[in-house]
């Protein structure tokens, strides 16, 4: 069970970039437990796995958290050289590696999303933006690495008259450690979506699914999501 948003008038207001995936779901609930007034922000950039946006909307409705889905599909032609945004590019399968999953890198994605989230924070008087970059992303995604987060945090402090802090609480954590934190909080990961394939059920074969399954295996528990195949055995 998750805790309700804080009603404390003195609680700080923050923006949480919330994709609907398990990392941002955990970040969202961590912020709730810290007692913040949260504005969740999701982005439709033409991703194939847009089901995550429906999941994010449903979670925020259940929690009573203000939630905005920003339609930025107009930039699709600028970022369509990725398997996540272009259905004509084959979705790679197998475990994460620099060789077979470079195709899932969306050009400049986090810089774009963070810039918009910082604007939202300034607009509503929020002093912080949270997002779910984590240690497992460092090998593939430059915009999840500590150097990027530190640089963007510096920019967020000087880009407006009102400084904003960029907060990535799991920057040095693995996905298994993030999941462990969420399980300790009693979170229900049926309320998340991870698969990149964009089908009715999670494929269990893409790198995102396999990393998720490995995290559950590392925590000696079973993923509550349904998969197209007996994917629970993939990483055991």
pLDDT recorded at residue 138: 66
Q: Is 18 annotated as a binding residue?
A: yes
Q: Quick check: is 222 in a domain?
A: no
Q: Is 26 annotated as a binding residue?
A: yes
Q: Quick check: is 72 in a domain?
A: yes
The pTM assigned to this predicted structure is 0.90
pLDDT confidence of 210, banded at 50, 70, 90? Answer: very high
Reported as a single tens digit per residue, the pLDDT across 130-164 is 999 998 776 778 899 999 999 999 999 999 999 99
Reported as a single tens digit per residue, the pLDDT across 85-123 is 888 888 878 666 656 667 778 989 999 999 999 999 999
Measured CA to CA, the distance from residue 45 to residue 113 in angstroms comes to 10
Q: Quick check: is 189 in a domain?
A: yes
Question: 6 with 33: CB under 8 angstroms?
Answer: no
Measured CA to CA, the distance from residue 195 to residue 21 in angstroms comes to 9
Report the candidate in 109, 121, 94, 152 with the shortest Cα–Cα distance to residue 19: 109
Q: Is 209 annotated as a binding residue?
A: yes
Q: Quick check: is 229 in a domain?
A: no
Q: What is the CATH number of the domain that holds 119?
A: 3.40.50.620
Q: Quick check: is 36 in a domain?
A: yes
Question: 164 with 121: CB under 8 angstroms?
Answer: yes
Q: Quick check: is 77 in a domain?
A: yes
pLDDT recorded at residue 3: 39
pLDDT recorded at residue 136: 78
Q: Is 22 annotated as a binding residue?
A: yes
Q: Is 185 annotated as a binding residue?
A: no
Q: Is 21 annotated as a binding residue?
A: yes
For the record, the structure tokens of 52 come out as 């995550």
Q: Quick check: is 6 in a domain?
A: no
Q: Quick check: is 144 in a domain?
A: yes
Can you give the length of the chain in residues?
236
Report the candidate in 224, 194, 193 with the shortest Cα–Cα distance to residue 208: 194
Report the candidate in 219, 212, 132 with the shortest Cα–Cα distance to residue 173: 132
| Total Cβ atoms within 10 A of residue 152 | 22
SS3 156: helix
Q: What is the mean pLDDT of residues 29-57?
A: 95
Q: Assess whether pLDDT exceeds 70 at residue 190.
A: yes
Report the candidate in 5, 64, 57, 15 with the shortest Cα–Cα distance to residue 40: 15
Q: Assess whether pLDDT exceeds 90 at residue 230.
A: no
Q: Which residue has the tokens 């295996």?
A: 217
Measured CA to CA, the distance from residue 197 to residue 91 in angstroms comes to 7
Q: Is 206 annotated as a binding residue?
A: yes
pLDDT recorded at residue 84: 84
Q: What is the mean pLDDT of residues 48-53?
A: 89
Measured CA to CA, the distance from residue 166 to residue 152 in angstroms comes to 7
Q: Is 195 annotated as a binding residue?
A: yes
SS3 71: strand
Q: What is the mean pLDDT of residues 74-82?
A: 92
pLDDT recorded at residue 60: 98
Q: What is the mean pLDDT of residues 30-49?
A: 95
Question: 19 with 42: CB under 8 angstroms?
Answer: yes
pLDDT recorded at residue 9: 41
The per-residue pLDDT of the chain, averaged, comes to 89
Domain of residue 145 covers 13-193
pLDDT confidence of 10, banded at 50, 70, 90? Answer: very low
Q: Is 144 annotated as a binding residue?
A: no
pLDDT recorded at residue 194: 94
Domain tally, the chain: 1
């Amino acid at each position: 069970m998750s805790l309700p948003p804080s009603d404390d008038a003195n609680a700080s207001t923050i923006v949480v970039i919330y994709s609907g995936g398990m990392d941002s779901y955990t970040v969202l609930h961590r912020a709730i437990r810290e007692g913040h007034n949260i504005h969740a922000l999701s982005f439709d950039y033409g991703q194939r796995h847009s089901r995550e946006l429906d999941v994010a909307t449903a979670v925020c409705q259940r929690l009573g958290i203000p939630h905005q889905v920003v339609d930025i599909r107009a930039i699709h032609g600028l970022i369509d050289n990725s398997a996540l945004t272009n259905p004509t590019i084959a979705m790679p399968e197998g475990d994460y590696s620099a060789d077979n999953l470079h195709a899932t890198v969306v050009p400049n994605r986090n810089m774009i999303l963070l810039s918009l989230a910082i604007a939202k924070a300034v607009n509503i008087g929020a002093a912080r933006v949270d997002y779910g970059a984590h240690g497992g992303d460092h090998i593939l995604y430059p915009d999840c690495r500590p150097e990027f987060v530190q640089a963007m945090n510096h920019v967020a402090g000087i880009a407006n008259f009102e400084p904003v802090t960029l907060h990535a609480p799991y920057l040095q954590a693995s996905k298994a450690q993030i999941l462990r934190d969420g399980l300790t909080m009693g979170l229900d990961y049926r309320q998340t979506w991870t698969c990149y394939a964009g089908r009715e059920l999670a494929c269990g074969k893409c790198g995102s699914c396999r990393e998720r399954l490995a995290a559950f295996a590392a925590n000696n528990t079973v993923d509550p999501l349904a998969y197209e195949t007996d994917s629970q055995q993939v990483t055991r």
